[in-house]
Amino acid sequence: MALTRREFIKFTGLGLAASSLGMLGFGESGVAQAAAVRPFKLAHATETRNTCTYCSVACGILIYSMGDRAKNALSNIIHIEGDPDHPVNRGTLCPKGSALLDIVHAPTRLKAPRYRKPGGTEFEEVSWDFALDRIARLMKDDRDKNFIAKNADGTTVNRWISTGMLAASASSSETSFLTWKVMRSLGAVVFDNQARV
Amino acid sequence: MTNTWQDIKNANVVIVMGGNAAEAHPCGFKWVIEAKIENGAKLVVVDPRFTRTASVADYYAPIRPGTDIAFLSGVIRYLLENDKIQHEYVRSYTNASLIVKDGFGFEDGLFTGYNEETRSYDKTTWDYDIGEDGFARIDDTWQDPRCVINLLKKHVSRYTPEMVSRITGTPQDKFLHVCELIASTSAPDKAMTSLFALGWTQHSVGAQNIRNMAMVQLLLGNIGVAGGGMNALRGHSNIQGLTDVGLLSNQMPGYMNLPSDKETNFDVYMSTRGFKPLRPNQISYYQNTRKLFVSFMKALYGDAATQENNWAFDWLPKLDIPLYDIIKAFEMMNAGQMTGYICQGFNPLQAFPDRGKIRRGLSKLKFLVTMDPLDTETSRFWQDFGPQNPADSAKIQTEVFQLPVTCFAEENGSLVNSARWLQWHWKAAEGPGIARSDIWIMSGIFHRLRELYRKEGGAFPDPLLNVTWKYTDPLSPDPEELAKEMNGRALADLTDATTGAVTTAGTLLDGVAQLRDDGTSAAGCWSFAGCFTEKRNQMARRDATDPREQGIAPNWAWAWPANRRILYNRASADPAGKPWNPAKPIIAWNGTRWAGIDVPDYTPTLDPAKGASPFIMNDEGLGRLFARKLMAEGPFPEHYEPMESPVENVLHPKVKNNPAARVFADDRANFGNPKNFPYVATTYRLTEHFHFWTKHALINAILQPEEFVEVGEVLAKEKGIEQGGWVKVSSKRGEVVCKAYVTKRIKPLMVDGKHTHVIGVPLHWGFTGQARKGYGANTLTPSVGDANTQTPEFKAFLVNIEKTSAPVPA
């Protein structure tokens, strides 16, 4: 019988719940006990392939979440482990990767945009529209004021050096490409990433 | 990495120098253990500390931080003196035989052409002697004193074992034993792999550290072969990808450079990028640069990039200086020259040198935007956290936006690992609260700006108004759409000149060979061409089959370039096309084509008898023992002391440090001297933590809860420091109060007749997250970078240490 890993988990999980311990001679108390055994939680979880977010070994991971991805079911990640099929890590994870669940659910995960006024002592929660409108305004004002279209020799240089950006190092390549397009079409050259540190 | 993680198992010798893979890359390091157990490999570790990697090594040698070039130049001297080089490989595949121009020389620590005022070189003489036929002149007999191998021999002649030991502090016998182990892989069927990381890059001579080992590997014939290579173990999960896509101040996707303002138009830009072969019959791949560039501009600007407007060349920003790197950015900030800064998944208050300077710089901004899943120190630089972040909020006028971003588990997309694999991953859940993806946020900012420019006009809006944005949901482009855009498409029917096969207009490209320079193809990142074809998303492939179990797994995900897993693999076979190591061949010439377990790094049907050399990206086709004009401080590596060093440069006292390193005046004023700061410090990571992220994760915060420094027993005794006792570590730039971890892992080194102590400074703590508050290692580190890359010198600087009492809680 060929079983995938996932089917095997389901199989054993359901098996535990379904097989009557009574049949093994434990009588009614055994049946009651069997009914009370919770099926293995992962059997009902949705499994998602992903890669560890930390170093560049890029270990394969399996993320288990509750919820079947239906519109009304909010997924909640309950477990993360190494992907045994992955040719590099072959299921293993290091002390960081093993604790990925704790970074996904860290109490310091940010949940809403926050803004700090000049001279302010606290952050205040703001809407996305407030934050992005204001950021766009500040960027444009600075760009319009300081954009360098031509240098002293009259060469077209079209660069903007008074606002800069540091790009992420764990975001996807797709994110990075889009970020490149946005920043370079503005002429930004003070633009760097974590490659140096 | 030139090779794959699993390929490490094929090595006969594994050298870990400039890194600590067991601690920092544990699940990749298992392949070193596999090499030891299954292949009888010897693991050699050269490091200032007896690291976790050293603890499983066959041989360990200590070294003073910042002296790797002296060590490796000594290795090259040993290989040449003892004739331990792979002769046929060196003659056929490296530039050893090429003749260097008259006038090139080296004296008293400087190469020809130095300008003290600009701290840079006129590199005119740093090149080959070009004959009348336009090709570099050559002397196969190695008799000409001007051929590269003889110049190299002369250059390294000063690095005798005595001199190496005097500079590095490595005892002579240990140095020589390491030389012997390395030399054992000069046999054509033996290989050594070099595994390194930030222990080499984070120096004012970082790039030359790596070049130096690459030269060792070329001399041994270890590049392109199974179990060989130069394997940079990259840090973050997609820092390779961010580098590939060119998110660096001077870069475009696929390692093309942004123009400088000396390149006044497209023709001038292309004039230095023709890459005419410098030896007969060479491939010189970069002859295709125009195709790569034009295809990129078509991806970026679509119909607005035309032959007539030089493919919108003028719309690219032009640089007036080599780099606007991060050290430069903070210098500008401190000088009040910057208005705004956006930190996307980046925490410079923790990550960049001279924390005080970073904090002062951020305080001078008009606005700061952070985009991060976590509550970073940078986003709270303006808030007072006591001695770990003293701030007078009322006086700081910076507007701060802290934007919540989804994390890896909450998005689809690809990451490029250290072995250049593009691996797709899938979303498992929504982000918390109203956190949004970076793609959504950047798109939101883009649309608002574009609307403002449409409405109000303003400074040169053309690039912004014309950049391609043809996504199904323009406010939230699908990662697959972006991946396809990088892969590239045919814009007209493209007919292959040899096969006659037609790629119809609009379809995704199968590979880079389909790119054209006439505007009929588009590719956002040419080196990714082939990652997402009409057949499927190749990055999502999950077939782990591995022919001969040699660590290639060609159908798992997709590797750039062209799904090639071992770079330079043509060099795994001899000039006739026969594998050097018959037990572990990668590709071989079968009489009609190159066949094997990997995609050939060569024209697949090119007969080896035609004489094209394996290093096809170089215009001479050869691996470079002499770097020509490509490095800032010289075509050969030379030992320069770290910017903060306890000793003089015994080779050339007048030129102590890297003469081409850029040093800002305020940073120079903040360098300490050995009188006040007598100990060498070096930063490092712990296996329980990832930079400044995992202190937010409960388990990791419990595993390594608080800041400490590592001190050797001898120094601890000298200074009365107890195990777990409190110490104050200071540099010219700041001080850290934390606990001392007294160990046997760091022993004093005898450097030029003097005992030199080294202090280890792990870097993981800050003032947000669940671990205890810490000052951060960057409170101590100097603000100066490598002369080529501007990677900060975190691995060698000066500190003092004193015993102190426990801080009194506020």
Q: Which residues in chain A touch residue B438, judged by CB atoms under 8 angstroms apart?
A: 168, 171, 175, 178-179
With CA atoms as reference, report the closest residue to A105 among B283, B431, B233: B431
Q: How far is B418 from chain A (nearest CA, A)?
A: 5
Quick check: B343 and B326 in contact, CB under 8 A? no
Looking at residue B90, what is its pLDDT?
98
Q: Which residues in chain B touch residue A138, judged by CB atoms under 8 angstroms apart?
A: 339-340, 366-367, 399
What residue in A sits closest to B687 (Cα-Cα)?
Answer: A95
Q: Which residues in chain B touch residue A57, judged by CB atoms under 8 angstroms apart?
A: 5, 25, 27-28, 233, 417-418
Looking at residue A41, what is its pLDDT?
79
Looking at residue B724, what is its pLDDT?
98
Q: Which residues in chain B touch residue A51, judged by CB atoms under 8 angstroms apart?
A: 237, 408, 415, 417, 423, 425
Q: Is B236's CB within 8 Å of A128's CB?
A: no
What residue in B sits closest to A163 (Cα-Cα)?
Answer: B340
Task: Identify which of B27, B244, B351 has the shortest CB distance to residue A88.
Answer: B27
Measured distance CA(A57)–CA(A50) in Å, rounded: 13
Question: What is the three-class DSSP state of B690?
Answer: coil
Q: How far is B270 from chain A (nearest CA, A)?
A: 17
What residue in A sits closest to B385 (Cα-Cα)?
Answer: A121
Q: Report residues of chain A scoring pLDDT below 50.
A: 1, 11-24
Q: Is B456 exposed, middle or buried (0-12, 13-18, 19+ CB in 10 A)?
A: exposed
Looking at residue A197, what is its pLDDT?
81
Task: Identify which of A51, A139, A147 has the shortest CB distance to residue B415.
Answer: A51
Looking at residue A6, what is its pLDDT?
52
**Which residue in B31, B32, B53, B238 has the most chain A C-beta atoms within 10 A of its own C-beta, making it the best mutation to test that interface?**
B238
Question: Would the CA dihedral through B623, B626, B630, B636 be positive or negative?
Answer: positive
Q: Report residues of chain B scoring pLDDT below 70.
A: 810
Measured distance CA(B190)–CA(A20) in Å, rounded: 61
Q: pLDDT tens digits, residue range B29-62?
A: 999 999 999 999 999 999 999 999 999 999 999 9
Q: pLDDT tens digits, residue range B681-737?
A: 999 999 999 999 999 999 999 999 999 999 999 999 999 999 999 999 999 999 999
SS3 readout for B228-242: CCEEECCCECCHHHH
Q: Which residues in chain B touch residue A103, judged by CB atoms under 8 angstroms apart?
A: 407, 693-694, 696-697
Q: How far is A14 from chain B (nearest CA, A)?
A: 24
CA distances to A78, B599, B616, B788 from B603, in Å: 49, 10, 9, 32
Q: How far is B227 from chain A (nearest CA, A)?
A: 15
Measured distance CA(B206)–CA(B232) in Å, rounded: 12
Task: Identify which of A80, A95, A169 has the shortest CB distance to residue B238.
Answer: A169
With CA atoms as reference, report the closest residue to B275 among B586, B622, B617: B617
Measured distance CA(B56)–CA(B44) in Å, rounded: 9
Quick check: B244 and B254 in contact, CB under 8 A? yes
What value does the mean pLDDT of chain A take? 87
Measured distance CA(B256)–CA(B299) in Å, rounded: 15
CB pairs under 8 A between A and B: 491
Q: Is A103's CB within 8 Å of B341's CB?
A: no
Q: Is A173's CB within 8 Å of B413's CB?
A: yes
Q: pLDDT tens digits, residue range A64-121?
A: 999 877 888 888 999 999 999 999 999 999 999 999 999 999 999 999 999 999 999 9
Looking at residue B780, what is its pLDDT?
98
Quick check: B749 and B755 in contact, CB under 8 A? yes
Calculated CA dihedral for residues B95, B98, B99, B100, nearest 10 degrees: -30
Q: What is the DSSP string of B3-43?
A: S-TGGGGG-SEEEEES--HHHHSHHHHHHHHHHHHHH-PEE
Q: How far is B497 from chain A (nearest CA, A)?
A: 31
Which residues touch A74 (CB under 8 Å, ≥6 apart)?
A67, B429, B430
